[in-house]
Amino acid sequence: MQSLPGTARAVAYPVPMSEPVVISIVDSHTEGEPTRVVIAGAPMLAGRTVREMAEDLAARHDWFRSAVVCEPRGNEVLVGALLVPSADPTCATGVIYFNCAGVLGMCGHGTIGLVRTLVHLGRLAPGSVRIETPVGVVVAQHSGESIGIEVANVRSFVHRADVTLRLDEGRTVHGDIAWGGNGFFICEDHGEAIELGNLQALNQLACSIHRALARDGLSTVNSYPVDHVELIGAPRDPRNHGRSFVYCPGGAYDRSPCGTGTSAKLACLAAHGTLAPGDVWRQESLIGSVFDAWYAPSPEGGVMPTIRGRAWITAQGTLLLDPTDPYRHGIVPSTVR
């Protein structure tokens, strides 16, 4: 097992701040979707497990999350990744993912971006690495090149199949509620073109589905919210099998095919008997990037998915939080007059 530094060099400082705070970061993108890994400057988190530390981040240090990924230093698309110690002796590190809306359970594209970042920093040799997330251990496999990083994700499964939703505007859609490390409603009979030119209609439909799930008491799975909506259509490239629009918490669409969303889709395909174990499913994103994915049956039910994608380093530097800046903790509702 490879060993890694177990934390992003935590520091203790109060909020409000009296001194400037410096946060070291490395940015990457995975098939178009950005990840920001915090290298130094994170607050010290309480808890033994990664899940407990993620809960502490959300409860006591949410200002740090918003400072790293929200405007004016970030945006609604950006996902942050914070290295933390793992209580599992088989794991090289733990990681907490978060975006502009809050802390996430898992992030497939983020794990690929994290591995690429650790390789870039010289902290990870080619091979296999076990990483603890708030929802379980994932295993990444890489060669040291950008041609593809594989992530064996947590167990994924269908929570409710063939759900009928009557939307506010009178439209009816059907889909599956599934878990892939985050909660998803996955729909194919939506009738919308999965194209960038149709982005407004896709966003409106996803928001309507999200409201209907909450109204009908269908908004949780595996103790996490069903806060992602995945609309599937025909692929543009005949070498691929499906094209996805994934609406993420915070209101952005995933530029990548979405790792946890592709995992949830594999669980649906397996449950409906339309994809055999080991067969590759190639999922396009709205911008045309692709994840390869396949699964093995899980002894506990559902599937054990693996996704493969590419990532590239885009920036390396520091974020500066000036105590005189009214937006030092990000532009969030509490800072808007």
Q: For residue 332, what pLDDT is reported? A: 83
pLDDT of 106: 97
Task: Please identify which of the residues 107, 187, 248, 268 carries the catalytic annotation.
Answer: 107
Is 100 a known active-site residue? no
Which of residues 199 and 169 earns the better pLDDT score? 199
Is 187 assigned a catalytic role? no
CATH topology of domain 157-301: Diaminopimelate Epimerase; Chain A, domain 1 (3.10.310)
Question: Looking at residue 44, what is its pLDDT?
Answer: 94
User: Residue 9: pLDDT above 80?
Assistant: no
Among the listed residues 150, 156, 181, 250, the one whose alpha carbon sits nearest the alpha carbon of residue 210: 250
pLDDT, tens only, 222-250: 999 999 999 999 999 999 999 999 999 99
Q: Assess whether pLDDT exceeds 90 at residue 164.
A: yes
pLDDT in tens, 59-114: 999 999 999 999 999 999 999 999 999 999 999 999 999 999 999 999 999 999 99
pLDDT at 169: 87
Contacts 24+ apart (CB under 8 A), 185-189: 185/209, 185/210, 185/213, 185/218, 185/226, 185/228, 185/229, 185/230, 186/230, 186/232, 186/261, 186/264, 186/265, 186/268, 187/229, 187/230, 187/231, 187/232, 188/231, 188/232, 188/233
The pLDDT of residue 205 is above 80: yes
CATH dotted code for 21-154+313-321: 3.10.310.10
Answer yes or no: same fold for 21-154+313-321 and 157-301: yes
Confidence check: pLDDT of 43 > 90: yes
For residue 147, what pLDDT band results from cuts at 50, 70 and 90?
confident
- Determine the pLDDT at residue 91: 97
In the predicted structure, residue 6 carries a pLDDT above the cut 50: no
pLDDT in the model for residue 16: 64
> In this predicted model, what pLDDT tens digit does every residue of 117-138 receive, in sequence order?
999 999 999 999 999 999 999 9
More confident residue, 93 or 16: 93
pTM, two decimals, is 0.94
187 within 8 A of 209, measured Cβ to Cβ: yes
Which pLDDT score, from 0 to 100, does residue 19 have? Answer: 84
More confident residue, 8 or 103: 103
Strand spans (E) along 180-227: 183-187, 220-221, 224-225
Stretch 307-316: mean pLDDT: 97
Confidence of residue 315 (pLDDT cuts 50, 70, 90): very high
Residue 2's pLDDT is what?
Answer: 44
For residue 337, what are the CA distances in angstroms to 15, 41, 64, 334?
20, 29, 21, 8
Q: What does the mean pLDDT of the chain come to?
A: 93
Say which residue the tokens 């996430």 belong to: 104
Rounded percentage of the chain residues whose pLDDT exceeds 90 = 90
Return the domain boundaries, the chain. 21-154+313-321, 157-301
